């Protein structure tokens, strides 16, 4: 069997598995549809949260980015895991006790205001759509490269699968497919990593292997890589080039953004008790850390392999994977000095670099570069699809519940029946799938920028509003609304200015205090906190029933059922 | 066709009795909770922002014993993640014990 038949077989059987699970877990009420009937066990919720969270960006892009950024790539590793500590300690247990169905639900009730609810709905929908676009690009890359079908056909197949289990099963269907998707994606990530670690270092555990000895040269692997980087004119791998302040701010924006992302927060509504919400955040991070501690090892292995296999290789003798990726346009060679050989060098080299590599291809190309068996290549394709589809489904549910619950039930049509709301939820999930499919077929050319945007917005809007809502009884409606608007406006303006209006000025010299657009969400968050606290001091105290609500969410007893439907 | 209802519509509260807001034990419970969170988040901050970022370059002069990892680099790409996982599980244990001590844990019939 060749690579393509293996890929086809593994992708098709994983899809069949997801469909089978979806048929077995249909939603019969809005409670099933929004929060899986709050009957998910903490362990299963931990796994589902891990799959929900680990997107195409984590699976496909992250190790490649780290591979190219070295130490600077740590912002993703710490930023996208450290946020779970904030979630577990500051948000999850209290939001579970509150027992709503959506994030705007909490914001609207805690701040006794429909304006706050609408601001939250707009943020939730915007954040989720930008994210979905990124997932669909991942689906397109995998299909285009491995199954050699047209990207649009690939996106259409992916959408059909998501449509099936998200529309039919809502949160209930999504949860159990995500558990399966976690197993598929984790297995697909670990197998090539273990192979690579054994081949390069002789140690089967990648987390230890990349701190070990390179078997080919007999020197420490990281020293060998730093040596190669020095030789080829790249910055040292283990030190990086970003300023310490910028690394600090980017890490903080990603951590806080993680804790403010609605599709992650709503997963903690699905467990039976407050105690379960706490422990399932622990399980989620444990499952996530399995991939996140492997990724930096994969990054090092991929870097070494890439340099060894392409630098000074005659173009006429490049391996098959090289030509195949060239066809996708994500790998490009331009023989500037006409010697017929590939020069892959950094900015400090006297030679001219002739190879451009999109970091997105590193994880997918890795098994081929290392000449691993064909079935491993197919497995990685199935894993990438699992990561993209599981996240896309979680995001689509946020969009659907924002429309059917927050806008219809809690806004325009309070009298809507249970059956009507369920139908509205299914229809809006269906419409959201179609819009996401459109983005997948016509991806905006600036997906990476837009994802940074989503984190900045989540960090500067939801996070302070929720934290203050729980930890400060004095925070008022006016404070929270003005804080959210100021935080978002500041962050969005800074990012739009440097990314879209004047991209030519997007350098450390023109940034405020050297803070890049990726890290500006941290400043937006601080502005939000400052304005919320100050305005709250000068506006009338929240009404007694709201203070009572805050007192109640601070103690676990009496959580019982989610009481989001009683308005 | 009703327009968007901008009047706030208060949510009905769970009728079961909780600790009264003024209760001294409730305040003591919340203070202990805040103290735990404060201590755990200080560790979270020192490990990631301290060892992994601010002091990373200085710590890179040393190696993790038995391996070839520069210390700052290891904290940024491995160590901080392990510490995060441990912190959450410690928090869960501390809080479950605190809930029982103050009798606010969720009963099986809740």
Out of A89, A223, A551, whose CB is closest to B21? A551
CA distance to partner chain A, nearest, from residue B101 (Å)? 13
DSSP A504-563: GG-STTTSGGG--GGGHHHHHHHHHHHHHHHHHHTSPPPPHHHHHHHHHHTS-TT--S--
B interface test, pick of A62, A70, A78, A541 with most B CB neighbours within 10 Å: A78
Distance between CA atoms of residues A159 and A136, nearest Å: 9
Ramachandran angles phi, psi of B56, nearest 5°? -60, -45
Distance between CA atoms of residues A406 and A114, nearest Å: 10
Q: How confident is the model at residue A174 (pLDDT cuts 50, 70, 90)?
A: confident
Nearest to A125 by CA among A458, A478, A555: A458
Nearest to A518 by CA among A51, A59, A65: A65
How distant, in Å, are the alpha carbons of A113, A263, A411, A422 from that of A415? 19, 27, 10, 13
Which position has the token pair 């350098």? A507
Return the structure tokens found at A562: 């989610």
CA–chain centroid gap for A135, Å, is 9
Return the structure tokens found at A345: 């060098």
Distance between CA atoms of residues A515 and A522, nearest Å: 10
Q: Is the ipTM of this complex over 0.85?
A: yes
Distance between CA atoms of residues A136 and B15, nearest Å: 45
DSSP A372: -
Exposure of B87 in the CB half-sphere (CA atoms within 13 A): 30
Distance between CA atoms of residues A354 and A345, nearest Å: 8
Would you call B61 an interface residue with chain A, using a CB distance cutoff of 8 Å?
no
Which residue in chain A is spatially nearest to B59 when comparing CA positions? A239
The per-residue pLDDT for A287 is 95
- Global confidence as pTM: 0.88
Return the structure tokens found at A485: 């608007």
> Checking phi first, is residue A371 left (phi over 0); if not, alpha (psi -120 to 50) or beta?
left
- pLDDT tens column, A424-463: 888 888 888 888 888 777 766 555 666 767 888 889 988 9
Out of B4, B76, B103, whose CB is closest to A71? B76
Out of B48, B77, B96, whose CB is closest to A251? B48
Nearest to A391 by CA among A120, A133, A140: A133
* Interchain contact, A411 vs B4, CB within 8 Å: yes
For residues A84 and A278, the answer to whether their CB atoms sit within 8 Å is no
Q: How confident is the model at residue A563 (pLDDT cuts 50, 70, 90)?
A: very low
For residues A529 and A243, the answer to whether their CB atoms sit within 8 Å is no
Cβ-based contacts under 8 A for chains A and B: 187
Q: Taking residues B42-52, report their average pLDDT.
A: 93
The per-residue pLDDT for A565 is 33
The per-residue pLDDT for A558 is 63
Neighbouring CB atoms inside 10 A of A312's CB total: 12
The per-residue pLDDT for B108 is 58
* Interchain contact, B78 vs A81, CB within 8 Å: no
How distant, in Å, are the alpha carbons of A50, A282, A289, A438, A492 from that of A46? 6, 7, 12, 31, 32
More confident site: A491 or B66? A491
* Interchain contact, A244 vs B73, CB within 8 Å: no
The per-residue pLDDT for A338 is 81
From chain A, the residues in CB contact with B93 under 8 A are none
- pLDDT tens column, A535-548: 999 999 999 888 88
* Interchain contact, A567 vs B74, CB within 8 Å: no
Distance between CA atoms of residues A271 and A274, nearest Å: 8
Distance between CA atoms of residues A250 and A451, nearest Å: 13
């Amino acid at each position: 069997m060749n690579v393509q038949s293996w890929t086809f077989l593994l992708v098709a059987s994983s899809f069949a598995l997801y469909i089978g699970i979806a048929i077995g877990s249909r939603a019969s009420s809005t409670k099933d549809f929004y929060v899986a009937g709050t009957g998910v066990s903490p362990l299963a919720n931990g796994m589902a949260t891990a799959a929900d969270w680990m997107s195409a960006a984590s699976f496909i892009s992250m190790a490649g980015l780290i591979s190219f950024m070295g130490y600077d790539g740590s912002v993703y590793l710490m930023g996208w895991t450290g946020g779970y500590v904030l979630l577990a300690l500051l948000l999850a247990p209290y939001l579970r006790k509150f027992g709503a169905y959506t994030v705007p639900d909490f914001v609207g009730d805690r701040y006794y205001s429909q304006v706050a609810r609408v601001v939250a709905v707009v943020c939730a929908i915007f954040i989720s759509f930008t994210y979905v676009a990124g997932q669909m690009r991942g689906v397109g890359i995998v299909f285009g490269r491995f199954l050699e079908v047209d990207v649009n056909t690939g996106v259409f197949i992916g959408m059909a699968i998501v449509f099936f289990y998200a529309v039919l099963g809502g949160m209930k269907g999504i949860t159990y497919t995500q558990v399966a998707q976690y197993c598929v994606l984790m297995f697909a990530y670990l197998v090539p990593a273990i192979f690579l670690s054994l081949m390069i270092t002789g140690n089967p555990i990648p987390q230890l292997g990349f701190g070990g000895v390179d078997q080919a040269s007999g020197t420490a692997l990281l020293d060998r890589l730093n040596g190669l980087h020095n030789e080829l004119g790249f910055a040292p791998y283990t030190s990086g080039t970003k300023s310490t302040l910028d690394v600090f701010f980017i890490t903080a924006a990603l951590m806080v953004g993680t804790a403010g992302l609605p599709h992650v927060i709503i997963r903690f509504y699905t467990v039976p008790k407050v105690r379960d919400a706490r422990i399932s955040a622990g399980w989620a991070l444990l499952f996530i850390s399995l991939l996140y501690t492997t990724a930096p090892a994969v990054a090092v292995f991929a870097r070494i392999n890439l340099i060894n296999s392409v630098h000074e290789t005659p173009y006429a003798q490049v391996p098959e994977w090289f030509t195949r990726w060239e066809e996708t346009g994500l790998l490009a060679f331009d023989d500037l000095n006409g010697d017929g050989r590939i020069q892959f060098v950094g900015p400090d080299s006297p030679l001219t670099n002739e190879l451009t590599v999109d970091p997105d291809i590193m994880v997918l190309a890795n098994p081929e570069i290392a000449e691993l068996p064909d079935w491993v290549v197919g497995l990685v394709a199935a894993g990438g699809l699992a990561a993209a589809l599981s996240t896309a489904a979680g995001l689509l549910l946020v969009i659907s519940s924002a429309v059917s619950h927050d806008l219809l039930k809690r806004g325009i049509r309070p009298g809507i029946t249970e059956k009507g709301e369920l139908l509205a939820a299914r229809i809006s999930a269906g419409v959201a799938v179609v819009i996401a499919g459109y983005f997948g077929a016509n991806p905006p050319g600036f997906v990476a920028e837009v994802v940074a945007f989503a984190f900045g917005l989540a960090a500067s809007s939801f996070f302070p509003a929720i934290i203050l809502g729980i930890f400060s009884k004095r925070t008022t409606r006016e404070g929270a609304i003005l804080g959210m608007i100021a935080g978002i406006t500041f962050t969005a303006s800074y990012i739009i200015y440097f990314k879209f209006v004047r991209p030519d000025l997007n350098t450390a010299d023109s940034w405020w205090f050297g803070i890049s657009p990726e890290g500006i969400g941290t400043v937006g968050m601080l502005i939000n906190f400052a304005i919320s606290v100050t305005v709250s001091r000068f506006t009338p105290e929240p009404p007694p029933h709201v203070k009572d609500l805050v007192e109640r969410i601070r103690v676990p007893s009496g959580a019982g059922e989610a009481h989001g439907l009683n308005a | 066709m009703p327009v968007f209802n901008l009047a706030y519509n208060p949510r009905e509260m769970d009728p079961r009795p909780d600790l009264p807001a003024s209760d001294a034990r409730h305040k003591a419970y919340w203070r202990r909770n805040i103290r735990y969170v404060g201590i755990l988040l200080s560790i979270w901050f020192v490990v990631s922002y301290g060892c992994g970022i601010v002091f990373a370059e200085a710590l890179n002069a040393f190696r993790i014993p038995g391996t070839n990892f520069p210390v700052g680099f290891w904290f940024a790409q491995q160590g901080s993640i392990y510490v995060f996982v441990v912190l959450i599980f410690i928090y869960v244990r501390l809080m479950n014990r605190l809930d029982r001590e103050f009798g606010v844990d969720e009963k099986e019939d809740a």
